[in-house]
Amino acid sequence: MRYLTETIACSTNSPIEIIDITGQIKSTLAASGLRQGQATIISRHTTAFVNINEHEPRLLEDMVTFLKRLVPKDGDYLHNLAPLDGRDNAHSHLMGLFMNASETIPFANGELLLGKWQSVFFVELDGPRPERSVMMQISGT
C-alpha cells in the first residue's frame, strides 16, 4: 500500500462560490501512478467544504441561492459580536453545518469511481479568499 498527500490550491472571488475541482483530483491521481484504492479530499477550513454533486450551471446558481436563503448573512448571530478574525461570518459557519469537510472516493484502474453526473466541488462560504486549499490523500496500489 502506498500513500500520497497533495495540496490542491484554490482562490475564490465571491462570498459563496462553488468550484469544480474534479479535473485537479483526476490529474493528481493520474500522476500518482496508483491503480486502485481510495482518495480522500478534505477542506481544512471551517467556512469552506467539499461536496459531490452535479455540475450544471443553473443548478450551481440554485445552490448558491438556496444557501443564501437557508442562512441569511444579516442574521442576529452572537459569533458576529466578537469574531476571531474580524469577519462577520457566523452565517458561513452555520451553512457549514449542512456540508461535509471531506469526501472519500474509491478508484479502480486509475479512474475515480464517480457516477456519470458526479463532480467534486470546493464550496466557499466566506469569500472572497485569495488562498484556500484542499488536501488530497491517496492510498492504494
> Mean per-residue pLDDT for 1-12?
97
In this prediction, residue 86 carries a pLDDT of: 87
94-97: Cβ within 8 A, 24+ apart: 95/67, 95/70, 95/71, 95/125, 96/46, 96/47, 96/49, 96/125
Q: Tens digit of pLDDT for each residue in 48-75? A: 999 999 999 999 999 999 999 999 999 9
Q: Cβ(41)–Cβ(103) under 8 Å?
A: yes
Does 131 fall in a domain?
A: no
Q: How many domains does the chain have?
A: 1
In this prediction, residue 85 carries a pLDDT of: 87
Angle, alpha carbons 49-80-83 (nearest 5°): 75
In this prediction, residue 84 carries a pLDDT of: 86
Residue 103 belongs to what domain range? 14-126
Q: Tens digit of pLDDT for each residue in 77-129? A: 999 999 888 899 999 999 999 999 999 999 999 999 999 999 999 999 999 99
SS3 35: coil
Does 7 fall in a domain?
A: no
Residue pointed to by grid coordinates 472571488: 13
